[in-house]
Amino acid sequence: MASHQVVDFHGIVISRNDYKERDMLVKILTDKFGIKTFFVRGARKKGFKLASAILPFSHGTYFGNVNDHGLSFINGTRELEQYQQIYSDIELNAYASYILGLVGAAFGNDEPLPGVWFDNIATAINLIDQRFDAAIVANIIEIQLLDQFGVKPFLESCVICGNSSGPFDFSETYGGLLCQQHWYLDLHRLHLDQRTIYYLRLFSVIDLKQLHSIKVKDVTKQHLRHTIDTLYNDQVGVYVKAKKFIDQMGSWDQILKK
């Protein structure tokens, strides 16, 4: 098992669990090493000096010994902050937890995240903490993560003829958009409205760092949720615990609106 000397890394605390009588295992999404599990000795003791550093949704610069596999160790932190809105709001917490859960499902543990994915996830969590529409931020991450699950819908143009102007529909059979001339090829296409298609295409390419505001009608949000759920259920097949709670919240909203 390879071990790095004491190194600095930026991290976001995903979760923590009690371990034995006094210790904890803390899962952190790191910028250099992916998702790592850290053994924190004495974390359950009263007055533990790193108590705030291992709270869920703490983020900042950590330093410690990071092993390629197995448990790693935290020595200290600096520039530590808390995503306060996420920590105190159950709905925001659920969406942030869902995004982090998807990251774990897509990339696994002990593997560095490729490209700019750490920055993308950190930006998404930060936007949720700033009270951007958490459902929309989650939708963007869901769509952009599909490629990491081996599912990359073709959303640039019609998969048959390359026509880039709509109207379009989405075909799971053909793995992307069909223009109206080719709808006859798939009678079981998703029959999406053009507003939903527009946002699917937009979300697949949007840079979260450039997202300053976005407003989506409730009915379109419902269609997006249903469409993305269809893709994940039919083609990805991952289960993230926080998603069940998000679905329950959606059911509560529908009841309250009646």
**Are 157 and 235 part of one and the same domain?**
yes
Please report where in the chains the tokens 């143009």 appear, as a residue: 157
pLDDT bin (cut points 50, 70, 90) of residue 254 is: low
pLDDT bin (cut points 50, 70, 90) of residue 25 is: very high
Read off the amino acid at residue 179.
C
**Are 137 and 28 part of one and the same domain?**
no
Residue that terminates a domain, selected from 61, 82, 103: 82
pLDDT bin (cut points 50, 70, 90) of residue 183 is: very high
**Are 72 and 139 part of one and the same domain?**
no
Provide the domain limits for residue 27: 7-82
CATH code of the domain covering residue 45: 2.40.50.140
pLDDT bin (cut points 50, 70, 90) of residue 40 is: very high
Task: Please say if the pLDDT value at position 81 is more than 60.
Answer: yes
Residue 181 lies in a domain: yes
Mean pLDDT estimate for the chain: 94
Residue 236 lies in a domain: yes
Residue 73 has what DSSP assignment? E
pLDDT bin (cut points 50, 70, 90) of residue 199 is: very high
Residue 119 lies in a domain: no
**Are 77 and 172 part of one and the same domain?**
no
**Are 152 and 226 part of one and the same domain?**
yes
Task: Give the count of domains, the chain.
Answer: 2
CATH code of the domain covering residue 161: 1.20.1440
Q: Which two tokens stand for residue 114?
A: 């490729």
**Are 76 and 138 part of one and the same domain?**
no
Nearest of 27, 33, 26 to residue 10 by alpha carbon: 33
**Are 60 and 176 part of one and the same domain?**
no
pTM for the full model? 0.92
Residue 95 lies in a domain: no
**Are 144 and 241 part of one and the same domain?**
yes
Q: Which two tokens stand for residue 111?
A: 């593997």
pLDDT bin (cut points 50, 70, 90) of residue 213 is: confident
Alpha-helix residue ranges (DSSP H) falling in 55-133 = 84-88, 90-107, 117-129
| Percent residues over pLDDT 70 in the chain | 95
Read off the amino acid at residue 119.
D
Q: What is the model's pLDDT at position 250?
A: 72
| Residues facing 8 on adjacent strands | 63
Q: What is the model's pLDDT at position 253?
A: 60
Residue 166 lies in a domain: yes
Q: Which two tokens stand for residue 195?
A: 């507003």
Task: Please say if the pLDDT value at position 61 is more than 80.
Answer: yes
Average pLDDT over residues 143-166: 95
Q: What is the model's pLDDT at position 1?
A: 54
Distance between CA atoms of residues 17 and 34, nearest Å: 19
Residue 87 lies in a domain: no
Q: 10, 61 in Cβ contact below 8 A?
A: yes
Residue 42 has what DSSP assignment? T
**Are 238 and 168 part of one and the same domain?**
yes
